[in-house]
Amino acid sequence: MGGRTGGRARAESETGGRRRADAERNSAAIITAATDLFARDPDASMTDIARAAGVGRVTLYAHFSSREDVIRAVLRQVIDQSTEILEGARSAEEPPADAFAHLIRTAWPLIGRFGRLYNAARRTLPAEEVRQLHDPPMAHVRELILQGRETGVFRTDLPVEWLVSTVYALLHAAMEEVSARRFDQVEAGEALVQTLLGALRAD
């Protein structure tokens, strides 16, 4: 960058860098505002998102070409965060059933409040895309189920992929119960753990 290109190129590069940094800040602010918004209102529009993020519609559309794109980015970020939590919560020392319960209890405070976001995603993106976005956290669930099968505490009479789908389905069912206010978030998390342990355990 230095040498022959001199000061002007460096100044341009710095301007470019600042612009990129601004753009990233805007994009992050939009995703953060949209995450809170969709947790309250699954029908939030692009106008609502722009207002919540404190940006104009032109800026919003410069970052995300459609409402679908915003929902995809928000869902991806929430799932990335929950995957990090799951990675941090893993412990090789606990027996698999305890480790599994610990995993759900650790992730639940973050994800339990996103039933409305999940509904917005289900209404906007194809079901299979929503499911595939969950592959990284579900890989951790799958691994714990396999460990529980090896030690004889989890059932082996059903395909592991179906047991992963069971966890996925009940996790989202609990989120929807909370978002429909049929269930308190703390109680829902514990009911989820107890129901999953029942569904997974060996006879």
Stretch that binds a second copy, among 24-32, 79-87, 92-100, 127-135 (CB under 8 A): 127-135
- Which is closer to a second copy, CB of 73 or CB of 170? 170
* Two structure tokens written together for 87: 């990675």
User: Which of the stretches 21-29, 106-114, 136-144, 161-169 binds a second copy when contact is defined by CB under 8 A?
Assistant: 161-169
According to CB under 8 A, which one of 10, 25, 76, 123 is a site residue for a second copy?
123
What are phi and psi for residue 128, nearest 5 degrees?
-70, -35
Residue 29 binds to a second copy (criterion: CB under 8 A): no
Rounded Cα distance between 115 and 113, Å, is 6
By the rule CB under 8 A, 122 interacts with a second copy: yes
Q: How far is the CB of 87 from a second copy (least distance, A)?
A: 25
Sequence-separated (6 or more) residues with CB below 8 Å from residue 172 = 115, 118
Residues 110 and 106: their CA atoms lie apart, in Å, by: 8
| Interaction between residue 2 and a second copy (CB under 8 A) | no
Distance (Å, rounded) from C-alpha 125 to C-alpha 4? Answer: 50
Residue 162 interacts with a second copy (CB under 8 A): yes or no: yes
- Residues 83, 124, 38, CA angle at the centre, nearest 5°? 60
**DSSP string of 127-169, one letter each residue:** HHHHHHHTHHHHHHHHHHHHHHHHTTSB--SS-HHHHHHHHHH
The residue within the footprint of a second copy, chosen from 18, 20, 76, 201 (CB under 8 A), is 201
State which of residues 46, 89, 146, 170 lies at the interface with a second copy (CB under 8 A): 170
Closest separation between CB of residue 202 and a second copy, Å? 9
Residue at 143: amino acid letter: E
Verify binding: residue 146, a second copy, rule CB under 8 A: no
d(CA 109, CA 175): 11
Binding residues vs a second copy (CB under 8 A): 42, 119, 122-124, 126-128, 131, 155, 157-159, 161-163, 165-166, 168-170, 172-173, 176-177, 180, 182-183, 188, 191, 194-196, 198-201
